[in-house]
Chain A
Amino acid sequence: MFKILQKTASTGTVTVNYAAEPIKISERFRGRPDFDFDKWKDARPAAEVCPTGAISLSDKGDSRKVTVDYGLCIFCGLCAEASSEQAVRITQEFELAASDRRNLVLTAEYTLNADRTHRGLRKVDRKSVNVETDVENLGKKARETIHKILGRSLAIREVDAGSCNGCELEIVALNNPVHDIERFGIQFVASPRHADMLLVTGPVTRNMELALLKTYRAMAEPKVVVAVGACGISGGIFGVNYASLGGVDKVLPVDVYIPGCPPRPQALLHGILLAIGRLAERLHNDRAG
């Protein structure tokens, strides 16, 4: 017993204070690839190497439309290696969760030279990628929702709908002493009947479709659904095939999408906090209506 106490005392506090203060992460971490469309002279090398088709091109005559879909991105960094440093750069941004699938997609239109390189940038459509990054505020609002509106802790039911288990590792890490998600009053629960939020990983395999639906139906209203990782958002590297449906929103209405392969624990937390905001709206509407 003494030994245990000694160990505990000598370890001290290890929990990081995300989201109240920005966290320090390794400068090696590969987050969102950033595209400087003005300086991008040729999108073909990046599109060619991209393993999941997150960067795709469609050429018509002397114009080209480039689509970047962060919902497909597995953050491998190949696009940056294949392009000039000014045009594609790997950043350390990880707070990418969005409540609208379209917000994860960028498009740019170019006119082309004879050798199919870019002559000029016609237009860029950025939607609102990466707008909801005020985590401190998110965290505060989430805490309010959990305490004032729910009056108890927020319960999450996790379902692996065919993931590689990478996302599960990071979700489990949310519960370790460093990330300690319980400090927000968030708990993972066994029964869908007690859950407010369904956190789903994996491309949704044909064999998991029914179990996922049953879990969702067993949850009481109001409820929110969060799709985790490239697979949960779009099927990721598995895409759509005879055994894979290609993402959670093929089966369920999704409230928040969390990019990553897998999303790091803070990215998960960011997405979960965002989803709590959606839940608060729903609770509010329910009461008002």
Chain B
Amino acid sequence: MMTQSTSAMFEALRQKLGPQVQSVRADRENEVYVLLRDADIRPITEHLRGEFGARLVTVFAEDRRSAEGVFFNYYVFEQKGSAQYLIVQAPVRSDSLEFPSLSAELPAVNWQEREIQDWFGLKAVGHPNPRRVALHDNWPDVYPLRKDFPLETVLPPFEGERHIYRPAFGEGVLQVPVGPVHAGIIEPGHFNFAVAGEPILYLQLRMFYTHKGTEKLFEKLLIHKAVFLAESISGDSSFSHGTAFCQAIERAASIEVPLRGLVMRTILLELERICNHVGDIGAIVTDVGFVIANAHASRLKETMVTLNEQLTGSRLLRGMVCVGGVRRGWDQVQLNTLRDTLDSFAREFQDLISLIDRSESTRDRLEQTGVLRPDKARDLGIVGVGGRASGVDLDVRRDHPYAAYSRYPFRVPVYQAGDVWHRMQVRIDEVNESIGIVRKAMTDALQREFRVPVPSIPSDRCALSAVEGWRGETIHWIRTGPDNHLQRCKIKDSSLNNWPALVEAVQGNIIADFPVINKSFNLSYSGTDR
């Protein structure tokens, strides 16, 4: 099943790193696993990045001590122009518990490696900043994702410091702590600003306040129930995460979703994008005082959320996606509502955008504000809207087509300026593209089946699934277990590796601009913390 480019890649790998590669398997199209003999990921990473320009998508671990006597680290790579994911599986010995860190060269995996340290008790040797990230400093030494840690463990009460921030030195340098509870109706996180007068010197973040044991909980739930947990990873991305999860199960169990189901998923994924993007556009302009534009934007969002409910019974598109397709079809009345609502939305959206475009003062405030330079964005591994506004040309819908995206060509907007204005511009362009996709998809495959019956899910199968949520790349990786359960479910919301983008973009800006810069990324705390 291996395609030509993989086998070429693999041949090259074998020649270069022969003794270190134990085996290669392609469980299915576009998902190739390379099993190493030891934990040393560095030579193969260097090779894949150097020779093939591969990008390291995500890093995560699995406790396989009872089955295979080791932990595994998984390194997911993708290569520009190939729909394939190459997953390097590196054993981490349970007597040493050490693996070499890649963070010094690849800051994109900084938090992810530390998460492995915190949740599995493995040590990232050579990590430039190996402090805790996914458990706060006042947690006892527990490793929640190890198999011998029960989900329901009752931990002793907190003692000690929650997090020790690096002190800021220098004349006139002040530290300003904010959070975890913020002024507005937003999620909790702690921001520690070092400021010199007005400008921000640097920002330290403390996330994971909303950590609620989600990945561990996936190992307890029946798969059909776990779909609802996936929908609750990040409420604003219920459909993206729900779909990513169902796709993973379908890939593991070789379930083929009927075309109509794929088309409906595509439509709903785009409606989720439209709702959130238009909401964000309103939120961004509010922060620079354009309240009227926000009133229109939030009203437009409300009409789309109401449409969501007409199509799925839920304003957040919940309870619709299922393993095997979608739970309900649409009748003609619903399709008409979809068409009419989208038409009037499209008209009003253009009005909204021209309102904003005419506002010189809005543009003035947003241009050159919160700049993330393209080279920085690339180095930090920034994905999604924030990446595309800074020259990172990635979009899972185009690069690793899923659902029915290959049927509806669309444009991926990419800008180089990397400021708040262009992050808003990416959203505007994407809303327009989404409208186009939904219009084409609306009349497609109308009379067909939307769901197949799901057999019992075979045990011990691994599968990777990716979705371009409205925020960006959303990855789920699973290993199935007996009796329709999972042994492991790894979730990577695009927010996790995008926080450093915020840290970078606020530097040198005044603290008063922090809210608008933060909103222009609009990352999910719950998606990060799980």
Is the CB–CB distance between A171 and B185 below 8 Å?
yes
Is the CB–CB distance between B316 and A169 below 8 Å?
yes
- Hey, which chain A residues are within 8 Å of B155, CB to CB? 206, 242
Q: A166-B316, A202-B210, A243-B212 are in contact. Are A173 and B234 (CB under 8 A)?
A: no
- Hey, which chain B residues are within 8 Å of A52, CB to CB? 228
Is the CB–CB distance between B310 and A28 below 8 Å?
yes
Bound Cα distance A242, B238 (Å):
24
Q: A8, A74, A169, A207: which contacts B136 (Cβ < 8 A)? A: A207
Is the CB–CB distance between B306 and A241 below 8 Å?
no
Q: A26, A75, A164, A242: which contacts B152 (Cβ < 8 A)? A: A242
Bound Cα distance A264, B229 (Å):
19
Is the CB–CB distance between B185 and A158 below 8 Å?
yes
Which of A117-125, A145-153, A208-216, A275-283 is found at the contact surface with chain B? A208-216
Residue A109, interface by CB 8 Å:
no
Q: A158-B185, A165-B187, A205-B209 are in contact. Are A30 and B319 (CB under 8 A)?
A: yes
Is the CB–CB distance between B187 and A241 below 8 Å?
no
Least CB distance, B156 to chain A, in whole angstroms: 11
Least CB distance, B66 to chain A, in whole angstroms: 20
Q: B144, B208, B216, B315: which contacts A264 (Cβ < 8 A)? A: B315
Q: A51-B228, A172-B185, A207-B211 are in contact. Are A26 and B236 (CB under 8 A)?
A: no
How would you classify the secondary structure of chain A's contact residues: helix, strand, loop or mixed?
A: loop
Q: A169-B316, A177-B298, A215-B181 are in contact. Are A208 and B232 (CB under 8 A)?
A: no
- Hey, which chain B residues are within 8 Å of A42, CB to CB? none
Q: A203, A208, A240, A243: which contacts B188 (Cβ < 8 A)? A: A208
Is the CB–CB distance between B228 and A74 below 8 Å?
yes
Residue B442, interface by CB 8 Å:
no
Q: A49, A51, A210, A242: which contacts B142 (Cβ < 8 A)? A: A242
Bound Cα distance A179, B306 (Å):
12
Name the CB-closest residue of A to B294: A176
- Which residues 223-247 of A have a CB within 8 angstroms of B? 236-244
Is the CB–CB distance between A164 and B234 below 8 Å?
yes
- Counting chain A CB atoms within 10 Å of each CB, the highest count among B213, B311, B355 belongs to B213
Q: Mark B295-322, 1 if CB is under 8 A from A, else 0.
A: 1101101100110011111111011000
Is the CB–CB distance between A238 and B318 below 8 Å?
no
Residue A159, interface by CB 8 Å:
yes
Q: Mark A79-120, 1 if CB is under 8 A from B, else 0.
A: 000000000000000000000000000000000000000000
Residue B186, interface by CB 8 Å:
yes
| Chain B contact patch, size range | 35 or more
Q: A77-B319, A159-B181, A210-B158 are in contact. Are A262 and B235 (CB under 8 A)?
A: yes
Is the CB–CB distance between A211 and B142 below 8 Å?
no
Residue B67, interface by CB 8 Å:
no
Residue A190, interface by CB 8 Å:
yes
Residue A144, interface by CB 8 Å:
no
Is the CB–CB distance between B301 and A176 below 8 Å?
yes
Q: A14, A76, A169, A207: which contacts B235 (Cβ < 8 A)? A: A169
- Hey, which chain A residues are within 8 Å of B351, CB to CB? 7
Q: B136, B181, B233, B306: which contacts A26 (Cβ < 8 A)? A: B306
- Hey, which chain A residues are within 8 Å of B136, CB to CB? 207
Is the CB–CB distance between B232 and A162 below 8 Å?
no
Is the CB–CB distance between A178 and B302 below 8 Å?
yes
Residue A196, interface by CB 8 Å:
no
- Hey, which chain A residues are within 8 Å of B153, CB to CB? 241-242
Q: Mark A8-47, 1 if CB is under 8 A from B, else 0.
A: 1001001000000000011011100000000000000000
- Hey, which chain A residues are within 8 Å of B214, CB to CB? 238
Bound Cα distance A4, B225 (Å):
48
Bound Cα distance A283, B195 (Å):
44
Name the CB-closest residue of A to B152: A241
Residue A55, interface by CB 8 Å:
no
- Counting chain B CB atoms within 10 Å of each CB, the highest count among A170, A172, A173, A207 belongs to A207
- Hey, which chain B residues are within 8 Å of A166, CB to CB? 232, 235-236, 238, 316
Is the CB–CB distance between A262 and B316 below 8 Å?
yes
- Hey, which chain B residues are within 8 Å of A168, CB to CB? 185-187, 235
Least CB distance, A13 to chain B, in whole angstroms: 11
Is the CB–CB distance between B355 and A4 below 8 Å?
yes
Residue B454, interface by CB 8 Å:
no
Is the CB–CB distance between A3 and B355 below 8 Å?
yes
Residue A261, interface by CB 8 Å:
yes
Bound Cα distance A164, B309 (Å):
19
- Which residues 255-313 of B have a CB within 8 angstroms of A? 292, 295-296, 298-299, 301-302, 305-306, 309-313
Least CB distance, B235 to chain A, in whole angstroms: 3
Is the CB–CB distance between B210 and A162 below 8 Å?
yes
- Hey, which chain A residues are within 8 Å of B216, CB to CB? 241-242
Q: A11, A25, A175, A241: which contacts B296 (Cβ < 8 A)? A: A11
Residue B524, interface by CB 8 Å:
yes
Name the CB-closest residue of A to B232: A164
Q: Mark B351-387, 1 if CB is under 8 A from A, else 0.
A: 1001100100000000000000000000000000000
Residue A70, interface by CB 8 Å:
no
Is the CB–CB distance between A28 and B313 below 8 Å?
yes
Residue A167, interface by CB 8 Å:
yes
Name the CB-closest residue of B to A30: B313
Q: A7-B296, A164-B232 are in contact. Are A207 and B210 (CB under 8 A)?
A: yes
Is the CB–CB distance between B144 and A242 below 8 Å?
yes
- Hey, which chain A residues are within 8 Å of B233, CB to CB? 164
Is the CB–CB distance between B186 and A160 below 8 Å?
yes
Is the CB–CB distance between A238 and B232 below 8 Å?
yes
Is the CB–CB distance between B212 and A162 below 8 Å?
yes
3 A-B pairs closest in CB distance: A166-B235, A190-B183, A176-B298
- Given known contacts A7-B292, A243-B144, what 5 new A-B pairs fall within 8 Å (CB)? A165-B235, A211-B188, A215-B181, A240-B152, A242-B213
**Interface, chain B (partner A; CB < 8 A):** 136, 142, 144, 149, 151-155, 158, 180-181, 183-188, 208-214, 216-217, 221, 224-225, 228-229, 232-236, 238, 292, 295-296, 298-299, 301-302, 305-306, 309-316, 318-319, 334, 351, 354-355, 358, 524-526
Identify 6 residue pairs between A and B in the complex whose beta-carbon atoms are under 8 Å apart, listed by A's number: A28-B311, A49-B225, A162-B209, A163-B187, A210-B158, A244-B212
